[in-house]
């Protein structure tokens, strides 16, 4: 069979084990390169099998490999990448007759083995090997079945992170993962797949990183050394092999890799400040009076909060964009009352539209022809909450524009944000079918042969399933942006694909009220975060079931430093408000939420940084400490930015826990100022009333006095928290908290430099933004002999020996603070 020979029996045996959905035995390798065609920004390789491979460089240090088994490359059509994929100039050496073809561009070099099969090796700017095809498992395809795959050689200790939302350990080495958005309520640890599909990962080996993004919307898979530790393999059962390698430039750091990936797929836009406040939800707050009672209770008990959610019971028979006339008879008045209490309202919106000739919204969608069709061309119907439903085809621009316009009524009434649920898409399997309902039951979504528009590239649901939820979030985001161009949209989605960060926040779906799920939330959220999705969170307390008082308190503490901070609960469970567990827990829960509002200026600054540079607010320890191998497998700690290390208690009854402090700096306890050296593991006190929290020496971060809602921060002087012990600094970003004036200069960044015991503040004119009203220095063993501000001694400083914290009030415009010890 020559170069296009079928793969050997050994390969078939592996396929039967690891990819049982492969029924065909027509696998082929590409064979040798027979022709090399070049132009200024791409190289096209013709192979003996008839397949073609195109190499290009979207940016410095980034390689794109695109293989078409049919021999005809499909036009670029990516939901993950906005616009046209860029290309930069390249240089080629060698041809089909040479042993290797070398393709080079800025910051990267690709060596292509020409025989007996195509093999691709990527080298970084310094000439070091980044990643290499495994010659024992060359790039392959099954043309009849439309399946493709590639294998890369791996070091046995190379670790992998990312892959979006996975209920798996921190590193995904030796894991097999499927990419297929799936409705999986009360998922167990190890359940795969679940709600989100992001086929991107960051590899770490020997202190160096690289990334891979597989841009394929079909059901795909990644075997990261589970079947054979010497290689990892990824592929899909449709379309073409189209993937990107991000080398990370000269630093080869995780941050550089992620910056390259998010420069390609987009970065999360700066959210409105209120969306970073505490959010309260349940299935469901009803009737209308109960919603207002919850809001009033927050204010009466002085527990900070910004958002209240309305789940599906606010609707009339679950018809989207309606209000129940029985339980929500005066929604305008309710929303006005919430706003008077400085609350924002978020309502759930599902994709299913009830098939009802008397429902004007359904009639309008049918008349416009915007619903998903069956393979026979009929309107696709399936059962969800309203009963029999039709579904907008969110891969159609016409459907997205129509659906986005439907938010107009709710926006005019005063709804502030929207929560897209059930958009995997999820459907209900037929009852009484005489068969079991499986976790990943094919009847829980659309038939694979349903037809989608595909933005002008028509295809089946098998091709577009994984982007359905993301495109619903897009329709929502773009609709809100058009309806209220002066406001930043807030959208929350359960399902998504790579690039979803451009449109929406993400939460980890229907988790469980258990200590196991609390612990699981840390690797889930940090891996989602470094998958390019910065606005992430998990339902506090667990959606399914009822948490104990201690579990709820510990979860609230852990979540207080995650970007999306919401309590949520399923129907028919006990009350789950911060005051629902008695006075003692109410005090502890209030303190946890107050901590969130104290660090809100820092969190907002991190989101501003993410929009411009791609570094996420929430990070695993290894992200900023890749030279410290002890951080690689830490599952129960996380970083907020590079300054705060949180070590939540994730086991019942624990009042002490062991904390690993990354090498390279010292760390100060937030609460009592105790100093811990980097590279050590320490048993720290963790009483029920507080989160173990630590500040990196040399950090300066903005905080605030406790406020009751985020809007109060606009009139509240900041407190600069400083941890001495190393030179360093920080910065503070400020703008109006909403709208887009910041993109036209209406913002400022204050920069802080630390040198020894001297602090310098470089603050542009305030333009009405909050000033720094005080400095708090952490970790001082004694009061300083003196404090000088702008060269003048001040007598009004306060030192608290119990917390080892020094407080210095600053006059307006202060620039220099110097301690003498």
Average predicted confidence (pLDDT) for the chain: 96
Residue range 23-36, pLDDT digits in tens:
346 899 999 999 99
Q: Which of 242, 421, 577, 615 is catalytic?
A: 421
pLDDT at 146: 93
Handedness of CA 545, 548, 553, 555 (dihedral sign): negative
pLDDT at 749: 98
pLDDT at 97: 87
**What are the structure tokens assigned to 389, written together?**
């439903």
Residue 249 has pLDDT above 60, yes or no: yes
What would you report as the CA-atom Rg of the chain, rounded to the nearest whole angstrom? 27
Domain ranges of the chain: 2-153+208-251, 273-613, 620-821
- The pLDDT confidence band at residue 82, using thresholds 50, 70 and 90, is very high
Q: Which of 142, 424, 594, 637 is catalytic?
A: 424
What class does CATH assign to 620-821?
Answer: mainly beta
- The pLDDT confidence band at residue 556, using thresholds 50, 70 and 90, is very high
pLDDT at 7: 32
pLDDT at 767: 87
pLDDT at 21: 34
Please classify residue 681 by burial: count the beta carbons closer than 10 Å to its beta carbon, then call 0-12 exposed, 13-18 middle and 19+ buried.
Answer: exposed
Q: Which of 286, 401, 414, 418 is nearest to 346 (CA)?
A: 418
pLDDT at 28: 96
More confident residue, 434 or 64: 64
Residue range 765-807, pLDDT digits in tens:
998 999 999 999 999 999 999 999 999 999 889 999 999 999 9
pLDDT at 95: 87
Token match 């080495």: residue?
173
Q: Which of 632, 604, 641 is nearest to 523 (CA)?
A: 632
Residue 376 has pLDDT above 60, yes or no: yes
pLDDT at 12: 29
pLDDT at 25: 60
510 tagged catalytic: yes
Residue 16 has pLDDT above 50, yes or no: no
Residue range 733-777, pLDDT digits in tens:
999 999 999 999 999 999 999 999 999 999 999 989 999 999 999
Which residues, including other chains, have CB under 8 Å from residue 317's CB and lie 6 or more apart?
A: 324, 354, 386
> Residues 336-348: what's their mean pLDDT?
98
pLDDT at 96: 84
**What are the structure tokens assigned to 699, written together?**
């950090």
Residue range 276-303, pLDDT digits in tens:
999 999 999 999 999 999 999 999 999 9
Residue range 151-172, pLDDT digits in tens:
999 999 999 999 999 999 999 9
Strand, coil or helix: 565: coil
Q: Which of 364, 373, 362 is nearest to 454 (CA)?
A: 373
SS (H, E, C) 477-531: HHHHHHHCCCCCCCEEECCEECCHHHCCEEECCCCECCHHHHHHHHHHHHHHHCC
Are 52 and 174 a contacting pair, CB within 8 Å? no
Termini Cα distance of the chain: 81
Q: Which of 165, 223, 510, 539 is catalytic?
A: 510
Long-range pairs of 358-364 with CB within 8 A, sequence gap ≥ 24 = 359/319, 361/319, 361/320, 361/321, 361/406, 362/390, 364/402
Bridge partners of 722, per DSSP, are 700, 777
pLDDT at 22: 36
Fold of 273-613: TIM Barrel (3.20.20)
Residue 432 has pLDDT above 90, yes or no: no
- Same CATH topology for 2-153+208-251 and 620-821: the answer is yes
* DSSP classification of residue 8: P
Selected from 2.60.40.650, 2.60.40.1760, 3.20.20.140, 2.70.150.10, the CATH number assigned to the domain covering 2-153+208-251 reads 2.60.40.1760
Dihedral angle computed from the Cα positions of residues 762, 764, 767 and 772, in that order, rounded to the nearest 10 degrees = 0
Residue 242 has pLDDT above 50, yes or no: yes
Which residues, including other chains, have CB under 8 Å from residue 85's CB and lie 6 or more apart?
A: 56, 58, 64, 76, 78, 264
816 tagged catalytic: no
- The pLDDT confidence band at residue 700, using thresholds 50, 70 and 90, is very high
- The pLDDT confidence band at residue 390, using thresholds 50, 70 and 90, is very high
Residue 10 has pLDDT above 80, yes or no: no
């Amino acid at each position: 069979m020559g170069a296009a020979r079928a793969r050997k029996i050994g390969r078939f045996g592996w396929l039967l084990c690891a990819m049982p959905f492969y029924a065909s035995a027509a696998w082929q390798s590409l064979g040798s390169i027979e022709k090399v065609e070049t132009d200024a920004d791409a190289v096209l390789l013709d192979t003996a099998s008839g397949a073609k491979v195109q190499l290009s460089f979207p940016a410095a240090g980034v390689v794109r490999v695109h293989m078409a088994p049919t021999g005809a490359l499909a036009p670029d059509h990516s939901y993950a990448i906005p616009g046209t994929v860029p290309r930069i100039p390249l240089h080629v050496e060698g041809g089909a007759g040479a042993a290797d073809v070398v393709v080079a561009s800025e910051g990267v070099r690709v060596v292509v083995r020409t025989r007996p099969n195509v093999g691709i090796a990527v080298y970084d700017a310094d000439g070091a090997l980044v990643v290499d095809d495994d010659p024992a498992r060359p790039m392959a395809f099954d043309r009849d079945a439309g399946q493709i795959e590639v294998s890369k050689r791996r070091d046995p200790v190379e670790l992998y992170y990312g892959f979006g939302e996975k209920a798996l350990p921190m590193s995904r080495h030796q894991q097999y993962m499927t990419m297929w958005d799936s409705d999986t309520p009360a998922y167990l640890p190890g359940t795969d797949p679940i709600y989100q599909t992001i086929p991107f990962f960051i590899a770490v080996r020997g202190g160096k990183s690289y990334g891979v993004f597989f841009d394929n919307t079909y059901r795909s898979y990644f075997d990261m050394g589970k079947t054979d530790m010497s290689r990892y393999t990824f592929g899909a059962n449709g379309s073409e092999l189209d993937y990107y390698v991000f080398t990370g430039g000269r630093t080869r750091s995780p941050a550089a890799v992620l910056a390259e990936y998010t420069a390609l797929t987009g970065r999360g836009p700066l959210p409105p400040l209120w969306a970073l406040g505490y959010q309260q939800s349940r299935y469901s707050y009803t009737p209308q009076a109960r919603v207002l009672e919850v809001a009033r209770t927050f204010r009466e008990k002085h527990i900070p909060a910004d958002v209240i959610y309305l789940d599906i019971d606010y609707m009339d028979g679950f018809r989207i964009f309606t209000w129940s006339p029985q339980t929500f008879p005066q929604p305008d008045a309710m929303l006005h009352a919430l706003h008077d209490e400085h609350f924002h309202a978020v309502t759930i919106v599902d994709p299913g539209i009830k098939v009802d000739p008397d429902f004007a919204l359904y009639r309008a969608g049918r008349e416009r022809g915007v619903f998903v069709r069956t393979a026979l061309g009929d309107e696709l119907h399936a059962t969800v909450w309203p009963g029999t439903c039709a579904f907008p085809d969110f891969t159609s621009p016409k459907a997205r524009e129509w659906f986005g316009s439907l938010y107009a009524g709710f926006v005019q009434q005063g709804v502030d944000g929207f929560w897209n649920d059930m958009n995997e898409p999820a459907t209900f399997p037929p009852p009484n079918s005489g068969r079991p309902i499986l976790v990943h039951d094919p009847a829980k979504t659309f038939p694979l042969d349903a037809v989608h528009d595909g933005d002008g590239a028509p295809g089946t649901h098998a091709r577009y399933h994984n982007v359905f939820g993301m495109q619903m979030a897009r329709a929502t985001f773009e609709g809100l942006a058009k309806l209220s161009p002066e406001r930043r949209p807030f959208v929350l989605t359960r399902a998504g694909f790579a690039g979803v960060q451009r449109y929406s926040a993400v939460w980890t779906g229907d988790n469980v009220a258990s200590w196991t799920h609390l612990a699981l939330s840390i690797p889930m959220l940090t891996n989602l975060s470094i998958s390019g999705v910065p606005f992430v969170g998990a339902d506090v307390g667990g959606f399914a079931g009822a948490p104990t008082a201690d579990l709820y308190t510990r979860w609230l503490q852990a979540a207080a430093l995650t970007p999306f901070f919401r309590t949520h609960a399923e129907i028919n469970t006990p009350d789950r408000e911060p005051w629902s567990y008695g006075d003692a827990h109410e005090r502890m829960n209030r303190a946890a939420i107050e901590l969130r509002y104290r660090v809100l200026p820092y969190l907002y600054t991190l989101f501003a940084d993410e929009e411009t540079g791609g570094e996420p607010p929430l990070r695993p320890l290894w992200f900023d400490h890749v030279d410290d191998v002890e951080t690689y497998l830490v599952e129960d700690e996380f970083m907020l930015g590079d300054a705060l290390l949180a070590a939540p208690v994730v086991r019942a009854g624990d009042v002490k826990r062991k904390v690993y402090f990354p090498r390279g700096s010292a760390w100060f306890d937030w609460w009592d100022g105790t100093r811990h050296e980097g590279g050590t593991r320490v048993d720290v006190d963790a009483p029920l009333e507080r989160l173990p929290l630590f500040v990196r020496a040399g950090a300066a971060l903005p905080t605030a006095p406790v406020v009751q809602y985020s809007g109060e921060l606009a009139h509240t002087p900041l407190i600069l928290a400083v941890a001495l012990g190393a030179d360093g600094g920080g910065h503070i970003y400020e703008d109006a908290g909403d709208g887009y004036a910041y993109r036209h200069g209406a913002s400022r960044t204050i920069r802080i430099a630390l040198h020894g015991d001297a602090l310098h503040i470089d603050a542009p004119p305030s333009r009405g933004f909050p000033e720094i009203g005080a400095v708090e220095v952490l970790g001082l063993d004694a009061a300083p002999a003196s404090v000088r501000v702008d060269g003048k001694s001040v007598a009004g400083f306060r030192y608290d020996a119990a917390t080892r914290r020094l407080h210095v009030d600053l006059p307006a415009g202060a620039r220099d603070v110097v301690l003498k010890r």
